[in-house]
Amino acid sequence: MFRNITPIVKNLLLINVGIFLVSAFLFPQISGMFALYYIHSSYFQPFQFLTYMFMHADFWHLFSNMFGLLIFGPLLEQFLGPKKLLILWMTCGVGSGVLYSGYTSYRMANLQDKVAAFQTDPDPDTFNKIVLENRGFFDRAIFDFVDDYSRNPTDQVKISRASQTLDAILEIQGNVPMVGASGALFGVLIAFAMLFPNTQLFLLFPPMPVKAKYLVLFYGLYTIYNVLINNPTDNVAHFAHLGGLIIGGVLVYFWKKDRNSFY
């Protein structure tokens, strides 16, 4: 595998691993600086649309993205050429960050409307619904408070605490960063499936062969499912994965129409 590694894939691997080592052991503060934040966050900077894809949360996050690049990238680079593989990787990475930011803005606006509605007309049922929709950001003690508040809906102290709790959730949600090259990797996956659809891949779990087009179809459907259910306890940016699939698919579609564009 390593003997057949191609130049762009090798350089991307070295850059991502190098930055991870620097951020993990020498300058951990750069992870927060270069991650991608909600565009209305005080931590947001436009350059984060580029830099976030070189940050990773931990070793296994890095390993999964780089392993995927190592498996699918070399053949794509040989077929498309180094320039187009780099365009594919960077465009899907940056583009999925932009799309995810739009999705985050929509979700934040929706949450802000719900919080404003509660603060205008405090109601335990409304508070409980917001808590359930964002339960991944609370510890279990919040449900004791929900129960207590439900029994005392006119208690001004409890209303004030509920309002402050929702303000805190807005602050937390607005400052959750996104990191990782998963959007770029999903662009590579869809490109591989579109260009080599019948290539047999052997899975480790479960140990069985599967064609590339079916594997990517499964990933795509699984990603859409997770976007739709929007599990509040799930910290994976599934919409960024979906963005990578869409952008990569569009790029390869136009490249396939213009066969002279291939290397």
d(CA 66, CA 20): 12
For residue 121, which phi and psi values (nearest 5 degrees)?
Answer: -140, 80
Min mean pLDDT across 13-27, 136-150, 183-197 is at 136-150
74 vs 4, which has greater pLDDT? 74
In degrees, to the nearest 5, what angle opens at C-alpha 125 toward C-alphas 122 and 126? Answer: 55
pLDDT band at 51 (very low <50, low <70, confident <90, very high): very high
Each residue of 204-256: pLDDT tens digit?
667 778 888 888 888 888 888 887 777 666 677 888 899 999 999 999 999 98
What global pTM score does this model have?
A: 0.88
pLDDT of residue 52: 96
pLDDT of residue 15: 96
pLDDT band at 262 (very low <50, low <70, confident <90, very high): low
